[in-house]
Structure 1
């Protein structure tokens, strides 16, 4: 059956959240922000003027701004408009034709959360954001092992993604006031399950109060991409093949020094790959820390 029109409800307050079983501490240098399925199609089942949706959107905007300011990668999921029956498979039995029965403009992420140029948008095929995507591989390449989750729907995709993150040794943080659901009961079900079985439940204010320190791998990748004007880089490929020259290596060494990381031109030039440069930076930061 298709999703029915969703009645509004009161957003659960932080003081009513269930107790977390773990005591994980969110660290911006380890985290990725996942904005889950905030597409027009899924939001249209709510009253757009409801305080619930206004709150969720406002909090996700705050989280995204915080992520950009603290070098936290931002990843979106979005179901495709075209979903062949073989790809949609059992979802048809559970939810009917879904988004493909709508119009193509409903596939878009809502305007308030339109992805920035450097954000990642993953095609979503199943409840979990990890299923049939390279989210896990990306997080491993970024050396990130914490996933902040917000979006819709809390007890379906958000919760199942948190479960799979946990099973992949990634600490999930479900942002209790940056998700929405079919009802308050199901919203609280997601908070209860995650807090007691696979992760931490946290609120927006607690997330945006965390400030990153040091250099992160996404920062390094962005700086290198700017140096050689390439959008996609193989982390193991020699950067000389992308057009990197000695002048730019010296420039990058100076930028690192400005961040308090002293790595010489000779060290950078010995093995000029993204992976090796990150290893050098990470090692220096660990010694300093």
Structure 2
């Protein structure tokens, strides 16, 4: 009846993204971020020091940082630590008492702790919209796109995405900023959302440029042919990075840094050099 002990698995990559039925463009001025149920209680089912969860948290943190830099409102869901039987209702039958038995684990994980500018919604059911002011808050701020990340992909996240769709709010499920009971259930949630209620994306699809050298490395590694990882000062071309991929990167990063082009990247194709270019303040 309770949530089982969970095991890590390989997070989805761009190659795992199902075909999206819709091609909605992400528009920051119309978007809000929802960090869903990232409470210690739910994360602790993976145990301590889980690399998969560390990566999910890092991806969510990057999304949150980007949203704060671009005046995109950030919402959290969090179940209360005290829930009456009337409030919990059928959740008792499906999952037992939940956080009621672990009130000390009610808080959001420390790495993602909300600040005074964020809105924390009390979570009563799978959908973040039930018994919450989320829909009204989005309407009042002119937001009709909802970035969804957190846990668990096939339960609350997928249900919230479907509920958003039925309220004419476009959900964007971030594949590598979600976690689930298993990879199979994670991929099922992505497939359902992509075909029925929203658009599935990767963290990097929403971030014009990486927010750290670590994120830059994570972006580049899948583009290389070599199994060995390059050092920060090593030539990426020697590791199989081709000109087509480099041109695609230049086109993407030029949206923020207008002076970046293929020649600039090819002149010194190392992580160190590229991070120096990307970590500059964008020119207004």
Q: Distance in 2 between matches of 1:34 and 1:132?
A: 16
Aligned-pair CA distance for 1:14: 1.1
TM-score, normalising length: structure 2: 0.73
**Aligned position for 2:142:** 143
- After superposition, residues 15-30 of structure 1 pair within 5 angstroms as 15-30=15-30
Shift >3 Å, 4+ stretches: none
Aligned-pair CA distance for 1:105: 2.1
3-state DSSP of counterpart to 1:63: helix
CA RMSD after TM alignment: 1.2
Residue by residue over 1:68-91, the C-alpha shift from the partner in whole angstroms, topping out at 9 and shown as x without a partner, is 000000000000001000000000
Q: Distance in 1 between matches of 2:165 and 2:18?
A: 18
> What is the number of residues matched between the two proteins?
210
Aligned-pair CA distance for 1:125: 0.2
TM-score, normalising length: structure 1: 0.71
Aligned-pair CA distance for 1:48: 3.2
Q: Distance in 1 between matches of 2:69 and 2:98?
A: 35
- After superposition, residues 148-167 of structure 1 pair within 5 angstroms as 148-167=147-166
Residue by residue over 1:227-277, the C-alpha shift from the partner in whole angstroms, topping out at 9 and shown as x without a partner, is xxxxxxxxxxxxxxxxxxxxxxxxxxxxxxxxxxxxxxxxxxxxxxxxxxx
- After superposition, residues 2-17 of structure 1 pair within 5 angstroms as 2-17=2-17
Q: Distance in 2 between matches of 1:207 and 1:128?
A: 23
Structure 1 unaligned residues grouped into runs of 5+: 211-289
Q: Distance in 2 between matches of 1:67 and 1:108?
A: 22
Say if 1:48 and 1:54, in contact at 8 Å, map to a contact too: no
- After superposition, residues 81-96 of structure 1 pair within 5 angstroms as 81-96=81-96
Structure 2 unaligned residues grouped into runs of 5+: 210-284
